[in-house]
A = this chain, B = another copy of it.
C-alpha cells in the first residue's frame, strides 16, 4: 500500500519537488505548454510560470513561443528541456559490443558510437581500455563542463546499485569487478558514475521513450547471450534490496533441463537464450551474433531447422511469460534484444501459450510488444540512469544565479 516510513513534508521541500515534477515531464514528454504542465502536475499556472522561470534562469529548460494552433486565446509558451543545459555520458558493456553516447536532457542523443568486439577479449582491462579510447573524443569537450551531470553504465551482469560493483557477469567471465571505479580512472573524470544491469536499463529506456511509453505496468524481457528483465509497477522500476531484481533469466522453468552458467539447472535462459536458439538450429551455440543473424535469415527463408528453433524458443518464452504474467499482472510485455529481433517468428507461439497457460483474468489485460529502441535500449537507459539525480532534484543543478522569485 504505502511505505512504513512515509515521511512528512516540510514546505521548503515542496518547491524542489515541484521543480522536479516539471523537469521530469518535459524530459520525458518533450515541449509542453504551461497549461499542459498544469494538467500533468496539478500545479497552478502561476506556480508553473514561476518555477519555469527559475529553470530557464538556471539553464535547464527554454521557453519558446508555441506555434499557432488555429484556436483563439492567449498563446502559452512551450516549456522544453535544453539538451545542452545538462548532459550525461552513457556507456554499455556487452558481450559482443561496447557503446558510448553523449545524451542531453530531454533524451537528445548528441553522439553515439558502437564498437563490435570479439568474444575472445572480455578481460576487464581490455574492455576498460577500449571504452576509454572510444569515449575520449566524446568526453574530451565536456570533461570539465559543469553541464556534464554524470556517467551511466549498462553492463551485462548483476550489479550492486549502491557502489556499481559488478558481482557476477557470467557471460563476460567477471566476478566482483568495481567497474565504476575502473571507469572513473580510465575516463579521467570526477563526474559521478552509476552502474546498473543492462536489462534493467533497457527496460527503463523502453518505458520512458520506447514501446512501453504509454504504460506504467510493464514487464521487459531482453535476451542476448543471457536473459534479463525489468519490471515497472505503477511507474516505479523494481530494483530489489540491492539492485539485483529482474533476473528473470534465472527463474527455473525446467528443473531437469540443461545446466546454466549461473550454476543452477533449467533456468529460463537455458531454453530461450542465444545458445539455445543456435543449438536448436543445428549450430555451434558459441558462434554468437552473426550466427543468430544467419538463423533469422534462414527462418525468413522458411528453413525447417531455423523454424524449429524459433518454435522451441517461442514455446519456452511463452511458458516463462505465462508465469510472470500471473506473478506481475502487467499491461504490457516488451521483448528486447534478441527477442525483439526474432519477434515475428515467435509471437504466434508466445500468444498461444499465454492463452493456454496464463490465468484468464491477467491474460486478457496484457499485450506482447517488440521493443522500439533496438540494440541501443541499454545505452539509452544508462543515460536515463545518469540523469536521474538531476530529474529528482533539479534545484541542485541550476547553473546561473537563481532568480529571486520563490514559487511553490
**Which residues of A are interface residues toward B (Cβ below 8 A)?**
1-11, 14, 17-18, 20-22, 24-25, 28, 40-44, 47, 158, 160, 167-168, 204, 208, 216-217, 229, 231, 233-248, 250-255, 262-265, 319-320, 322-324, 326-331, 356-362, 365-366, 384-385, 388, 391-392, 408
- Distance from A261 Cβ to chain B, minimum over Cβ atoms (Å): 11
Given A9-B9, A252-B320, 14 more A-B residue pairs with CB atoms under 8 Å apart are A1-B384, A3-B234, A3-B235, A8-B47, A9-B21, A9-B408, A234-B236, A241-B365, A241-B366, A245-B327, A245-B328, A250-B323, A250-B358, A255-B319
A28 lies within 8 A of B14 (CB): no
Q: Are B361 and A160 in contact (CB under 8 A)?
A: yes
A237 cross-chain contacts in B, Cβ below 8 A: 1
Complex CA distance for A5 and B326, rounded to whole angstroms: 26
CB-CB nearest in chain B for A365: B241
Q: Which of B14, B234, B240 contacts A330 (CB 8 A)?
A: B240
19 contacts between A and B (CB under 8 A): A2-B235, A2-B236, A2-B392, A8-B22, A8-B42, A8-B47, A10-B43, A168-B359, A217-B240, A229-B327, A233-B238, A241-B330, A242-B329, A243-B329, A244-B329, A245-B328, A248-B326, A251-B327, A252-B322
Contacts A244-B361, A255-B319, A362-B247; A236 near B3 (Cβ below 8 A): yes
Determine which residue in A25, A252, A360 has the highest number of CB atoms from chain B within 10 A of its CB, and name it.
Answer: A252
Distance, CA A167 to CA B41, complexed state (A): 34
Instruction: Find the B residue at minimum CB distance from A392.
Output: B2
| CB atoms of A255 and B253 under 8 A apart | yes
Residues from chain B with a CB closer than 8 A to the CB of A255 are: 253-254, 319
Beta-carbon contact of B262 and A359 below 8 Å? yes
Contacts of A242 in B (CB 8 A): 329, 361-362, 365
Residues of B with C-beta under 8 A to A246: 327
Could you tell me the distance in whole angstroms from the C-beta of A27 to the nearest C-beta in chain B? 10
Q: Known interface pairs A262-B359, A361-B168. Does A238 touch B5 (Cβ–Cβ under 8 Å)?
A: no
| A384: chain B residues within 8 A (beta carbon) | 1
Kindly name the residue among A250, A319, A331 whose own CB sees the greatest number of chain B CB atoms within 10 A. A250
- Given A14-B9, A22-B8, A235-B2, answer yes or no on A327-B247 (Cβ-Cβ < 8 Å): yes
Q: Name the distance in Å between A28's Cβ and chain B's nearest Cβ.
A: 6
Which 10 pairs from chain A and chain B are nearest by CB? A240-B329, A3-B235, A251-B323, A8-B41, A8-B43, A245-B329, A167-B361, A247-B326, A244-B329, A264-B357
Determine which of B241, B251, B408 lies in contact with A326 in the assembled complex, contact meaning CB atoms within 8 Å: B251
Please, how many angstroms separate the alpha-carbon atoms of A322 and B250 in the complex? Answer: 8
CB-based contact B7/A24 at 8 Å: no
- A359 and B1 contact, Cβ closer than 8 Å, known pairs A21-B6, A238-B328: no
A280 to chain B, nearest CB (A): 16
Please, which residues of chain B bring their CB within 8 A of the CB of A10? 42-44
> Which of B1, B40, B359 lies in contact with A204, CB distance below 8 A?
B1
CB-CB under 8 A for A7 and B42, given A168-B359, A361-B242: yes
A247 touching B43, Cβ below 8 Å: no
**Once bound together, how far apart are the Cα atoms of A251 and B328, in whole Å?**
11
Question: What's the least CB distance linking A311 to chain B, in Å?
Answer: 15
Known: A43-B10, A264-B357, A365-B242. A388 touches B252 (CB 8 A): no
